[in-house]
Amino acid sequence: MNTNNHINYIEFTASNLEKIKTFYTNTFEWVFTDYGPNYVAFSNSGVEGGFEKSEKKIKNGVLVVLYHKDLESIQNLIVKFEGKITKNIFSFPGGRRFHFTDPSGNELAVWSDN
């Protein structure tokens, strides 16, 4: 069950998805589901998450993703309390989400299945 304001998903970046899948499957027994050539989701890890392919040098390779059923209302609260929207609401297979930075510059995302 998805709960508003709880960490729901963790997203990492990786330069080589096949290599990363092999690593986590063999070392931690994670299970993977491919979503095209640039994204793979994982489960059997304690929290669900995914890896997005990126050629950029990884500085902070994790994105914490919160859940909220009403993206527009939570986005307004984030802005009201001095957060900054870094990616506007967009659709993906399974829902919609947006990214933001908190007042210290940490980037997070919020998603909804609505």
| Within-domain flag for 2 | no
Query: Do 32 and 49 share a structural domain?
Result: yes
d(CA 60, CA 85): 18
Do 76 and 104 reside in the same domain of the chain? yes
Whole-number pLDDT of residue 55: 82
* pLDDT reported for residue 80: 93
Based on the domain organization, do 55 and 15 belong to the same domain? yes
Residue keyed to tokens 């299970």: 31
> Across all residues in the chain, what is the average pLDDT?
91
Please say if the pLDDT value at position 38 is more than 80: yes
Total structural domains within the chain = 2
Let me know how long the chain is.
114
The answer on 78 and 53 residing in a single domain is: no
pLDDT tens-digit map of 1-23: 889 999 899 999 888 999 999 99
User: What local confidence, expressed as pLDDT, does residue 88 receive?
Assistant: 97
Residue 82: which CATH number?
A: 3.10.180.10
Q: Domain of 31?
A: 7-59
Per residue in 80-96, pLDDT (tens digit) is: 998 999 999 999 989 99
- Within-domain flag for 1: no
pLDDT band of 62, cuts 50, 70, 90: confident
CA distance 83 to 104: 9
Question: What is the rounded average pLDDT of the residues 48-73?
Answer: 87
